[in-house]
Structure 1
Amino acid sequence: MAVEALASGQDLLTHAVGDLAARTGMPVAFGGFERGNSVEVTSIVGTRTPSISGLVVQATRGLGGRALVERRPRLALDYRSSRNITHDYDRAILGEGIATLFAVPVVVSGKARGMLYCGSWAQSPLQENTARNALQVASDLATELRVRDEVNRRLSLVPSPDATPSLDVAAREELRETYAELRRIGADVADLGLRQRLGEIERRLAALSHDGAAAVEPLDVKLSPRETDVLACAALGQTNAEIAVTLALREGTVKSYLQSAMAKLDAGTRHAAVAKARRAGLLP
């Protein structure tokens, strides 16, 4: 049972493009990811013609290509007559009848990973609210991509049981650290689909740690998400103060969650609670 990485993010892009149109009120929105120094438009909403479909924007070319290399938004209030951009893509943009176009790069860790566009068929000034909302959508998408990058990086470190029938101590500890980190990341993710996918991976990681180990002992206990988070951190040997920093909670709140988990597991110490949770398959 290998642990699969998360998908590339096309689902997130599709959601972001739809959100861009809804939050800015601009009738046309489209976007794509950077690949090979260009952006291929793979998600479109609101268009009246097929002219933008399949559009590939090269770095430095057009409004989006300039925004890509500069890593900052670019606006063309009158696209047809703009002298600040090359007009390589007039056939696509003007073919759709777009007059005003706003291009916002999706910047992750200093690199432009994609481009979001919103436009209108009539020439009109870009309201401050509209620009702010467009920037927020791009920022949200960048955050989700950054989360996926970190999740995939951590999953790549987890050994596959297909290659190693039983996990050694170091591998098992790495798996447990990855589980705890995925729990922390999941708590900060807004996208429901991504959170559900993370939950599936967490359950598979917990099961993976038991492959070749002692059988799971069924236990009629249901820990809350935060009780599980706190217990997962405690399993790594973190103190209450360290858990509080990791999970951005008050130390007193951490203590409360820990005591609640211990009571549910009928354990007198945190170490006993962790051991019981592992035997029950609630923790890796």
Structure 2
Amino acid sequence: MSAPATLESETELVANAVRELARRTRFPVAFGGLIEEGVVSVTSIVGARTRSLDGLRVRPERGLGGRAMMELRPRMTSDYGSSQQITHDYDVFVLGEGLRTLLALPIIVQGRPRGVLYAGGWDEEQVGGVTTAPAMQVAQSVADELRIRDEVQRRIQANTGGGDAVAPPQREELRESFAELRSIAASLDDAELRARIARVEQRLVTLAGDDPTVSTSPIPTVRLSPRETDVLACAAMGATNAEIATQLGLREGTIKAYLGTAMSKLDASTRHAAVTRARRAGLLP
């Protein structure tokens, strides 16, 4: 049941990017989509006067978008109909809408094209850096989000493969996964995705239970804030305050404050003791 939710989330991600592309550039029309089974299916369109762009599916190497994906860089034409630099497989869609100027921005994740965003206008326009820079930023933001989601999905699959116990040699890797998931979650705006990560985090905490190296004596119930948990999870991996600040995108002084409140709540005088007590309380794996 999780696959459809992921697809819906990615479709919404593209829709938001298309709206942002139209807002941040002077182009009246914007559209785009992600690669599915080797073809980009345009799933979001804003500003179009007709329905000519509906159903557009772009193959790599074909058309302006295909060229952008193959070359891994933006491509633009100010006179689409007469351009000799591209194939014209999709003229019925583009010219049907009456577009003359067209900018194609590939969405690149780890060196591979994952989709394409378009911005276009009905008149011939000369597009410079003032327009292309924010457009490229929008495409990059989509690529960054997809990269994060790919990593989350990889860790979900790696850490929920079954079994109720973790052997000691794998325990440290499990804890590293927990710390990285906390860092990823801290950078996301997608509430649904954060909730999925939280469920995996709880699974990791459960799997890491019964650690024979940790005392099983009970400690009072402790509630850490999400940020306190983020900081403590990183500290558990031996990171310094400066390293944690870089990882979480916070100031070093802020990290020190969060660590201090976490230690106070856990009645611990050192970060090592705080980590130990957090594990005993079931707050960290």
TM-score, reference length from structure 1: 0.84
C-alpha separation between the residues in 2 aligned to 1:157 and 1:121? Answer: 48
Partner residue, 1:202:
198
Q: Is the 8 A contact 1:52 1:93 kept in 2?
A: yes
Question: 3-state DSSP class of the match of 2:96?
Answer: coil
Q: How far apart are the structure 1 equivalents of 2:274 and 2:257?
A: 14
Query: Quick check: which one's helix share is greater?
Result: 2
SS state at 1:72 partner: coil
Unaligned runs of 5+ in 1: none
Paired residue for 1:219? 221
Task: Tell me how far apart the structure 1 counterparts of residues 268 and 6 of structure 2 sit (CA, whole Å).
Answer: 39
Structure 2 Cα separation of the partners of residues 105 and 247 of structure 1: 28
Deviates more, 1:70-79 or 1:254-263: 254-263
Instruction: Check 1:175–1:29 CA distance in 2 against 1; reply closer, same or farther (3 A cut).
Output: same
Question: Where do 1:1-284 residues align within 5 Å?
Answer: 7-8=6-7, 9-160=10-161, 163-189=162-188, 192-193=189-190, 197-210=193-206, 213=209, 219-223=221-225, 225=227, 227-240=228-241, 243=244, 246-247=247-248, 254-284=255-285
Secondary structure, aligned partner of 2:44: strand
Displacement of 1:140 after TM fit?
0.8
Deviations 1:175-209 (A, max 9, x none): 321121022223334xx21x552254234422542
Q: Structure 1 residue 268: deviation in Å?
A: 2.6
SS for the counterpart of 1:257 is helix
Cα distance change of structure 1 residues 99 and 245 upon mapping to structure 2, 3 Å threshold: closer
Which amino acid in 1 is paired with 2:6?
Answer: A
Tell me whether 176-185 or 255-264 shows the greater mean CA deviation: 255-264
- Distance apart, 1:229 and its partner CA: 1.9
Partners of 1:253 and 1:259 in 2: how far apart?
10
Q: Aligned partners of 2:96 and 2:66: how far apart in 1?
A: 19
| Equivalent-residue separation in structure 2 for 1:219 and 1:266 (angstroms) | 11
Offset at residue 237 of structure 1 (A): 4.0
Q: Distance in 2 between matches of 1:245 and 1:147?
A: 17
Answer whether contact 2:152 2:197 (CA < 8 A) is retained: no
Is there any run of 5+ residues in structure 2 with no aligned partner, and where?
A: 211-215
Q: Contact 2:222 / 2:266 at 8 angstroms: preserved in 1?
A: no
The superposition leaves residues 230-276 of structure 1 with CA deviations (integer Å, 9 ceiling, x where unpaired) of 21022234455654564466666544432221112212332332233
Compared CA separation, residues 62 and 211, structure 1 to 2 (3 A):
closer
> Paired residues, what number?
277
Identity %: 50
* CA shift for structure 1 position 173: 3.1
8 A Cα contact 2:63 2:90, kept in partner: yes
Report which structure shows greater RCO (CA 8 Å, sep ≥6): 1
CA contact (8 A) 1:4 1:155 kept: no
Confirm or deny: 8 A CA contact 2:224 2:262 kept in the other structure: no
CA distance 1:251–1:23, change in 2 (3 Å): closer
Note the C-alpha offset of 1:143.
Answer: 0.8
When normalised by structure 2's length, the TM-score is 0.83
Distance 1:207 1:146, change over 3 A: closer
Which residue is equivalent to 2:213?
none
Q: Structure 1 residues 4-13 or 34-43, which shifts more?
A: 4-13
Letter in 1 for 2:143: A
| 8 Å Cα contact 2:278/2:284 also seen in 1 | yes
The alpha-carbon distance between structure 1 residues 234 and 39, as it changes in their structure 2 partners (threshold 3 A), is same
